[in-house]
Structure 1
Amino acid sequence: MNNILSEIKKNGATFTPNRLADYLSKKILSTIDPSLSSFTVLDPACGDGSLLSSICKLGGAKITSFIGYDTNEEYLKDARLSMQTIDSENKCNFICKDFLTVCPNVANLYMDNIKNEFADIVIANPPYVRTQVLGTTKAKQLARDFNLTGRVDLYYPFFMAMTNALKKGGILGVITSNRYLSTKSGSDIRKYLLDNYEIIEIIDLGDTKLFDAAVLPAIFIGKKKETHSLTPKVGKYMSIYETDKGDKSKIESSLNDIYNVLESDKPGNYLVNGQKYTLKIGLLKHPADKKGIWQMSDDKENKWIEAIDAHTAFRIKDKFKVRVGIKSCADNVFISQLWDKEGCKIEEELLCPMISQENIEAWTIDKDSMLQVLYPHYSKNGKRQVFDIEKLPLAFHYLQKHREQLEGRNYLMKAGRKWYEYWVPQNPDFWKMPKVVFPDISVRPRFCFDESGAIVNGNCYWMCAQNEEERSLLLLIEGVSNSSVMIRYHDLCFNNKLYSGRRRYLAQYIEQYPIPSPELESSKQIMSLVEKLNNSSDACEKESLASEINNLVKISFGITDCQDT
């Protein structure tokens, strides 16, 4: 079993459940031009053949041929067996080969005698493998073949190869991770899809757990363009996620499973086996440059976003750089709460208190539970330096015990850094400045203020003030970021929930947060009350102040209670 799981992780195999295969097949078949008398279906990574079996079963006699590729012969044996009972005319051709080498790019579309644009339908659930799992050699080869840059997933080149094989006017229906919809690394593939497809529908399946693998899937359905049009057509979107536990909105209906909810095609809240889900339906919005995050919001929500934008004086990125915390890639060596008790005597100038996501609540840092980090960096004349560890015998003796592990961080060594450095250390001068800190992953916003000089862990982000004016702005940002207004704005504009309602608070999202004018009377009150809340130790007073701040944020953005829903 462990070998199978290891193979699945390595190759990104996530076989499609039969119900999901049927759901996707029906969606695709409903978009096919009814005048077509015959068509060819391709699955470029067919695995056990569930998608081809489904569309064969539902597509009828019009499908004249099926082509399935996979690199695993054992998977293909299962695929052939599953097709035998429904493909009596032997219309299916299974090929044991990596489709990315068959149809790698426009310049090489005729490799292996595969004709350019031969498929009327592409149905697929390609592998999900990040570049760091693929390995350097494979990742570089894909980058060359598909002109890709940055951190990508294996399904990115699959998107491109499938497009090369698809006829103009043909339909692509593909299940992938939903990451590309809302991450910076997905910007190029978002632009590619808008350039090459009329998007029919995006279905973000969110945290529905339709796969055994820990992946949040999404379905892309598009029609390959006949020509490159300047303005992409607006497509439909649908999303389904578990409802926040505190949500009190009414239940639309109680249904047997997620597929019944999806097929209802009616937005609202649904109860499925005791769990509440929210189904949203609307039109897809994308920025003019085609690379930005695709916004999935309906007309009412768009008007609400426009109201926020109309009252925005600046975005966080206009005033502050949002930084990630320190990353050692060897936390077991550098971080502890028990240095003395474990008998690890370390020079005091190297041990620093550290804020981590475990220590943070909205408005508050639990300083008593903070860990201590061995931090071998200091600042000299405004520049980051690294201690000469051999002049610090206690730390040197300790780190020498872990030298093999630390030198195993090949990327650090190749960059010409010292073996005991941090991979991401940041400038030590900035730690001493007033800063707002927040965790990367959280159900609710947890922005808090720190003036203790503590270091920030890599599971958090932070921004610092270099003068008194910036300090005041940070108080305003803390108040706005912890508000119900910004929870809603975050969800509507960034579409990035994980399982169980957890959100990603990545720098790329937070830097886009809108902030009202600090000159407004309501904004001045927010800054004053946030300062008071940060210094309060009384739980009741803090709760009252947080509620008052929340109402003032609404006023600053011109949002009435009836709009804030």
Structure 2
Amino acid sequence: MEKKEKIRSKNIGQVFTPQYLVEEMLDYAGYKNTAIIEKHIIDNSCGDGAFLQVAVKRYCEEALRAGKNSREIKTHLECYIHGIDTDKEAYENCKANLEKVANRYKIKNVAWDIHNQDALAVKTYDGKIDYVVGNPPYVRVHNLQETYDEVKQYRFANGGMTDLYLAFFELGFNMLNPSGKLCYITPSSWLSSVAARNMRNHVMEKRNIISLVDLGHYQPFPHVTAYTIISLFSNDKQSDRFDYYTFNSETRQRNHVANLSLQDSCIDGILYLSDKEHLDTLRSIKTSTPPRLVTVKNGFATLADNIFIGEDVPESTITIKALKASTGKKYKCLFPYDEKGKPLPPDKIFSEKQVADYLQAHKDELLKGRKEHPAWYQFGRTQALQDVYKDKLSINTLLRTEKDLKIEYVPKGEGIYSGLYAITHDGIPLEDIKQILETPQFSDYIKLLKKYKSGGYYTYNTKDVEQYINWYISYKSDNKYANKSTFLGQYFEFV
């Protein structure tokens, strides 16, 4: 069964929600107690019915407490419980599972309002639903075949390489009645991705967020690596304030962090989550425009590291050392370029027999199936070539704390790959840059960006590091490079 579920999650984006999360999410949405009687609830990607099974259980119990008889409850279940799923097997399982729940309360032969359809084509429920809940499919739109054009008609999903769950957000919002609530668990990428820009604009305009529960590194789904967030919206809320929670994986409860305004959270069109003090610091880093005293770039992209870099590379006049930034280890590197990063002429490269023999032995692999290419013996991309003959610092791209940073001095004549590197201008020593980065403050800043990776790590890119360093150099009030512009020193104090 586990193998079968893994295949289904991979092929059609279905991710099956564990019971405890279903219970928590229905509680968050307010689908409990007497408030649920005669209220419409839908899961528009219902799968086997994880959310709807709990909804039916709660509805039956509340209806019985309210004095409803079995016939009345059966009618209510047929009227107020709704589901849609495109997968035939899941659809059949869902109806069977709901019937089992109803049977526990002596209610049988319910004509369930569950449909085996493409939810994105269903308009029946628009403007009618009190509670939209669920776990929308996680799949890139470009991987879809039959429904691609239909999905791209949704405004939230027409932003290029988008995800299907964004269209389901728009679908869910369309289904809500004037006081309806939507509660989804989805990838947290809607807070920051380019593809989700239209959704964020909608949220900023409607001001309808009630709360966000960031699950962080916690992985609630078997067989699926996803960094998720529980988002709760309400149509009858128009306030720019919302509650931000983290999720405790041990207690399986949410922990309140802050009540934020959208203005606090939104920085350059991206929604960040933290307390206000940290967000103020982050806003300063992300929106200030200091002089570019340090440049951070990506290392080599040979696209064939196993050929150009390693112990098997022959010694020659074009062999240099290259440091692997992710590990801090150095290896031999065949570097067919001059000191300015320009390609050496072929007669120079192939003049040494050991180099010629080595490259010829790997020619087919370097051509990658092409019949011929004039520059087959060069790196796949040109990045970082022009900086080999400059002093620089290598920087790895994963951390949990500052102790995970691997920052190494790399002298002129040596290269860097599998990571980033920094070069300085105006005579700023590289050692000072190293000291700036090897601090709890830098690692705290990286954690604010919430670019999660497995194992509890966070990742970051050239822009993230460069912005921080130049902000620090230019504005940190007690450092020797600070300019005379005004800056509140406490912005740097992370708590």
TM bracket, shorter-chain basis: 0.7 to 0.9
Could you tell me how far 1:17 is from its partner in structure 2?
0.3
1:56-455 residue pairs with structure 2 within 5 A?
56-59=56-59, 60-61=62-63, 64-87=79-102, 88=107, 90=110, 92-100=112-120, 102=121, 114=124, 116-130=126-140, 134=143, 142-143=151-152, 145-146=154-155, 148-183=158-193, 186-196=196-206, 198-212=208-222, 213-224=224-235, 233-240=240-247, 257-259=250-252, 261-262=253-254, 265=255, 280-283=257-260, 285-286=262-263, 292-298=269-275, 302-303=276-277, 306=280, 318-339=292-313, 345=314, 348-349=317-318, 351-360=319-328, 369-374=329-334, 378=337, 392=350, 393-403=356-366, 405=368, 407=370, 422-445=379-402, 446=405, 447-455=407-415
Task: Report if aligned partners of 1:389, 1:396 keep a CA contact under 8 Å in 2.
Answer: no
Q: What does the per-residue CA deviation read over 1:214-262, in whole Å, with 9 as the maximum and x for residues that have no partner?
A: 2222100011368xx7xx61110101368xxxxxxxxxxxxxx432x43
Q: What does the per-residue CA deviation read over 1:108-155, in whole Å, with 9 as the maximum and x for residues that have no partner?
A: xx5xxx3533332211111222467x2799767744654523443322
Could you tell me how far 1:503 is from its partner in structure 2?
1.5
Secondary structure at the aligned position of 1:14 is classed as: coil
State the one-letter code of the partner of 1:214. T
What CA distance in whole angstroms lies between the structure 2 residues aligned with 1:78 and 1:224?
32
Secondary structure at the aligned position of 2:269 is classed as: coil
State the one-letter code of the partner of 1:233. D
Q: 1:129 and 1:477, CA in 2 relative to 1: closer, same or farther beyond 3 A?
A: farther
Task: Report if aligned partners of 1:311, 1:558 keep a CA contact under 8 Å in 2.
Answer: no
Work out whether 1:503 is the aligned partner of 2:458.
yes
Task: Report if aligned partners of 1:47, 1:76 keep a CA contact under 8 Å in 2.
Answer: yes
State the one-letter code of the partner of 2:441. V
Task: Report if aligned partners of 1:313, 1:516 keep a CA contact under 8 Å in 2.
Answer: no
Aligned to 1:55: 55
What CA distance in whole angstroms lies between the structure 2 residues aligned with 1:189 and 1:423?
36
Task: Report if aligned partners of 2:476, 2:489 keep a CA contact under 8 Å in 1.
Answer: no
Q: 1:417 and 1:200, CA in 2 relative to 1: closer, same or farther beyond 3 A?
A: farther
Aligned to 2:468: 513
Identical columns (%): 18
What CA distance in whole angstroms lies between the structure 2 residues aligned with 1:498 and 1:6?
23
What CA distance in whole angstroms lies between the structure 1 residues aligned with 2:291 and 2:305?
30
What CA distance in whole angstroms lies between the structure 2 residues aligned with 1:420 and 1:135?
37
State the one-letter code of the partner of 1:14. V
What CA distance in whole angstroms lies between the structure 2 residues aligned with 1:153 and 1:296?
21
Structure 2-normalised TM-score? Answer: 0.76
What CA distance in whole angstroms lies between the structure 2 residues aligned with 1:194 and 1:313?
19
Could you tell me how far 1:176 is from its partner in structure 2?
0.9
Task: Report if aligned partners of 1:191, 1:291 keep a CA contact under 8 Å in 2.
Answer: no
Secondary structure at the aligned position of 1:326 is classed as: coil
Task: Report if aligned partners of 2:159, 2:197 keep a CA contact under 8 Å in 1.
Answer: no
Secondary structure at the aligned position of 1:175 is classed as: strand
Residue ranges of structure 1 left out of the alignment (5+ in a row):
104-109, 243-256, 268-279, 340-344, 361-368, 527-555
Task: Report if aligned partners of 1:121, 1:170 keep a CA contact under 8 Å in 2.
Answer: yes
Larger Rg, first or second structure (1 or 2):
2
Aligned to 2:436: 480
Could you tell me how far 1:435 is from its partner in structure 2?
2.9
Aligned to 1:43: 43
Could you tell me how far 1:310 is from its partner in structure 2?
7.4
Residue ranges of structure 2 left out of the alignment (5+ in a row):
64-75, 351-355
Q: What does the per-residue CA deviation read over 1:167-213, in whole Å, with 9 as the maximum and x for residues that have no partner?
A: 34321100012233345554443333333451001001122332212
Secondary structure at the aligned position of 1:463 is classed as: strand
What CA distance in whole angstroms lies between the structure 1 residues aligned with 2:454 and 2:136?
22
Could you tell me how far 1:28 is from its partner in structure 2?
0.9
What CA distance in whole angstroms lies between the structure 2 residues aligned with 1:56 and 1:317?
60
Q: 1:463 and 1:241, CA in 2 relative to 1: closer, same or farther beyond 3 A?
A: farther
Secondary structure at the aligned position of 1:437 is classed as: strand
What CA distance in whole angstroms lies between the structure 2 residues aligned with 1:464 and 1:507?
12
What CA distance in whole angstroms lies between the structure 1 residues aligned with 2:42 and 2:397?
39
What CA distance in whole angstroms lies between the structure 2 residues aligned with 1:321 and 1:388?
32
Task: Report if aligned partners of 1:518, 1:524 keep a CA contact under 8 Å in 2.
Answer: no
State the one-letter code of the partner of 2:415. I
Q: 1:311 and 1:186, CA in 2 relative to 1: closer, same or farther beyond 3 A?
A: closer
What CA distance in whole angstroms lies between the structure 2 residues aligned with 1:564 and 1:455?
34
Q: 1:139 and 1:55, CA in 2 relative to 1: closer, same or farther beyond 3 A?
A: same
Structure 1-normalised TM-score? Answer: 0.68
Secondary structure at the aligned position of 1:425 is classed as: coil
Q: 1:91 and 1:29, CA in 2 relative to 1: closer, same or farther beyond 3 A?
A: farther
What CA distance in whole angstroms lies between the structure 2 residues aligned with 1:404 and 1:190?
43
Q: 1:129 and 1:560, CA in 2 relative to 1: closer, same or farther beyond 3 A?
A: closer
Q: 1:400 and 1:163, CA in 2 relative to 1: closer, same or farther beyond 3 A?
A: same
Q: 1:439 and 1:131, CA in 2 relative to 1: closer, same or farther beyond 3 A?
A: farther
Aligned to 1:17: 18
Task: Report if aligned partners of 2:393, 2:422 keep a CA contact under 8 Å in 1.
Answer: yes
